[in-house]
Amino acid sequence: MTRPDPRKTAALSAALSGAVDLGALKARADAARQRATAPPPSPGSGGAVGGSDAGPSPWVLDVTEATFQSVVERSLDIPVVVELTASWSPEAGQLSPVLERAARAGGGTWLLARVDLDANPRIGQVFGVQSVPTVVAIAGGQPLDAFAGPLPEAEFGQWIARLLDALRDRLPGIKAAEANRAAEPGEEPAPEPEDPRFTAAEDAFEQGDFAAAEAAYEAILAAEPGNAEAKAALAQVRFTARAEAVPADAIAKADGNPDDVDAQLAAADLELATNDVEQAFKRLVDTVRRVFGEDRDKVREHLVSLFELFPPDDDRVAKARRNLASALF
C-alpha cells in the first residue's frame, strides 16, 4: 500500500494554482455551516467513468485541477476518497464502478472525487502517483490512507468502514449524513439552503474583493457576535489580504534583519501562505524571545492571529502555543 506525502497534499492548492493557499479557513466555515450537505454536481460532473445507469449523484464528482481545492475543503466535513484514474487503464475500469456503488450507498458519509490524470497531470504529481488507479483518502485536508490497483468490493467496503469509524467523532458530516439516512432510508438528503450573507461574503472573497468580504463578515458578527463561522472566515480574509501584499523577498529581508519586527511578521505570513507552517510559527516564537515591551506584544498578537487560521486541535498549533508560553514566561 502506498501513502502520499502529507506535506505535499497540505500544499495542494498552492501547487495547483501557484497562488496563496487560504482554503483551510473557508473550509472550516463551510463545513460548520453546511454540515453534511455536499455541493451539487456541476454540469457534466458526477457521472460514472465507464458508465452508470443510476444517474448523477452528489456524492460522486469528476474533478479537475481548477476544482480540486473545493474537494479538499469538503474533507473538513466528510472524508473524501480521491480516485486517480485514466481511461486507458483496465484496472481503473474495474475499480471505478466499485467505488461509485459504495459512494452512492454511503449516502453522503463520504465523497468520491474522480481525477482523470491524463487531463489533470499536476494532481497526480502532487500525490506522487506511480500507478493507475491510485486511491487516496483525505480528511481535514490531509491524506490518511491510500492503496493502488483494483480492490474487491468487499475489501473496499471494509476499508471505507474502518475509515468512517476512525473519523466519525472528528468530522461532523459523517454522523449528520448517517442521521439523515436513518430518517429517510433510500433518499439522499437535500442540501440545506445557503445563507445569503455568507454567499455574498464568499463571492467577494473569491473575486479578490477582500474589503467587501471583510465588511460582509463584520456585518454578520455585528448582528451575531457569537457566530464562530463568520469569525473564522473574517480571520481568513484579513490574512489573505495581508499575505497577498507581502513581497516575494520578504523572507530574505527578515533573515537579513532579525531585529526588524515588521519584517519578521511579513516573512511569517509568507511562510504560512506557502505552507511552511512550522517555520512561520518558529520565526515568531524566536522573535518573541528577542524583543520586549510593545514589540513583544505585537509579535505575540500576530502569532495568536495565525493560530486562528487552523483547527484548535492542529498539532502544529499546540506545539507553537507551548513554545510561545515558554518564550513569554
Residues 246-328, CATH architecture: Alpha Horseshoe (1.25)
Distances (CA, A) of 252 to 74, 267, 270, 294, 302: 35, 8, 11, 24, 20
The pLDDT score that the predictor gives to residue 132 is: 93
Within this chain, domains 60-170 and 246-328 share the same CATH topology: no
- Global pTM? 0.47
Q: What letter represents residue 37's amino acid?
A: T
Q: What is the pLDDT of residue 144?
A: 87
Average pLDDT by consecutive 10-residue portion of the chain (329 residues)? 38 36 38 39 37 66 88 90 93 92 93 94 87 92 88 91 92 90 60 80 90 94 89 90 92 94 95 91 95 94 90 86 89
Domain boundaries, the chain: 60-170, 196-243, 246-328
3-state helix, strand, coil in the chain (%, to 5): 55, 10, 35
Q: What residues have CB less than 8 Å from 36, skipping those under 6 apart? A: 77, 78, 108, 172, 173, 174, 176, 177, 180, 189
String of DSSP letters for 91-149: HHHHHHHHHHHHHHHHTTSSEEEEEETTT-HHHHHHHT--SSSEEEEEETTEEEEEEES
Question: With left for phi above 0 and alpha for psi between -120 and 50, is residue 233 left, alpha or beta?
Answer: alpha
Rounded to whole angstroms, the Cα distance separating 70 from 303 reads: 27
Res 24: pLDDT: 40
Instruction: Give the strand order in the sheet containing 80-85.
Output: 60-63, 111-116, 80-85, 134-139, 142-148
Domain covering 60-170 assigned CATH 3.90.950.20 in the classification = no
